Amino acid sequence: MTDDPARRLRLPLSAPGWRRTTLLRRAGAGLLTALALALALAPQARGTPVVVAAADLAAGSTLDAVALTVREWPPELVPAGAVPAVADAAGRVLVGAARAGEPLTDARLTGGAALPGDAAAVPVRLADPDVAPLLVAGRRVDVVTLGERAGEPLVLASDAEVVTVLPGPLVLVSMPRGVATRVAAAALSDQVAVTLR
């Protein structure tokens, strides 16, 4: 009789009993251990960095590093236009409210280019609230009021940029600082409107 290794393995597997059960259990345990070790040592797929709100943020908030954090997201779940780094969102204005953990996209932010060093954002309460739904962040407008003579329009600011539209209807508009103070002062006593460009 030859000493065949395959035959020696086949005999315990073909015969019912505890030897067969023990051998199958040991083989299964060995395979599962090898699989667990392979999974533990396999390099983990890195996610895509996405800037998310660190806490609930209100519309019109100017973002800073405290309000933001970076999380790794599976690449297939990253929304289009997601902001990848805190530096890309810091100093910009949030157009709409964001919940803690919500990813920020370029469409939700304004202000990086809209608020250069010589610009200021001015809240303007519109005389005609029905105009507010026509306004979106990034829209260019002229801010007007009535002039000294009845029916004469006075342009307070030309080519201002809408930063965000808040309830009320209150519109946050970006413009040069010198013009911004004039608009803010006029808005205290006069009705103010915007014309769309």
Picking from 8-12, 48-52, 185-189, which range would have the lowest pLDDT averaged per residue? Answer: 8-12
The C-alpha atoms of residue 103 and residue 177 are separated, in whole angstroms, by 32
Give how far the C-alpha of residue 171 lies from the chain's centroid of Cα atoms, to the nearest Å.
22
What is the percent of the chain with per-residue pLDDT over 70, rounded to a whole number? 85
Q: What is the pLDDT of residue 173?
A: 87
Mean per-residue pLDDT, 73-84: 90
Average pLDDT value for the chain: 83
**Which phi and psi angles does 128 have, rounded to 5°?**
-110, 100
Q: Is the pLDDT of residue 51 over 60?
A: yes
Would the CA dihedral through 65, 71, 72, 78 be positive or negative?
negative
Asked, for residue 37, whether it belongs to a domain, the answer is no
Would the CA dihedral through 22, 25, 27, 29 be positive or negative?
negative
Which residues sit opposite 52 in a β-bridge? 69, 103
Helix (H) or strand (E) holding 112: none
Q: What is the pLDDT of residue 56?
A: 92
Q: Could you give the number of structural domains in the chain?
A: 2
Which is higher by pLDDT, 129 or 44?
A: 129
**Residue 152, burial from CB neighbour count under 10 angstroms (0-12, 13-18, 19+):** exposed
Q: How many CA atoms lie within 13 A of 42 on its CB side?
A: 9
Q: Domain limits at 77?
A: 48-110
Asked, for residue 30, whether it belongs to a domain, the answer is no
CATH number assigned to the domain comprising residue 82? 3.90.1210.10
Domain boundary among 68, 86, 110: 110
Tokens for 25? 């259990």
Which residues sit opposite 48 in a β-bridge? 73
The pTM is what? Answer: 0.49
For helices 18-41 and 5-14, the axis angle rounded to 10 degrees is 110
Of the pLDDT bands very low, low, confident and very high (cuts 50, 70, 90), residue 114 is: very low
Q: Which tens digit of pLDDT belongs to each residue from 165-192?
A: 877 778 888 888 888 888 988 888 888 8
Q: Which tens digit of pLDDT belongs to each residue from 98-109?
A: 899 999 988 888
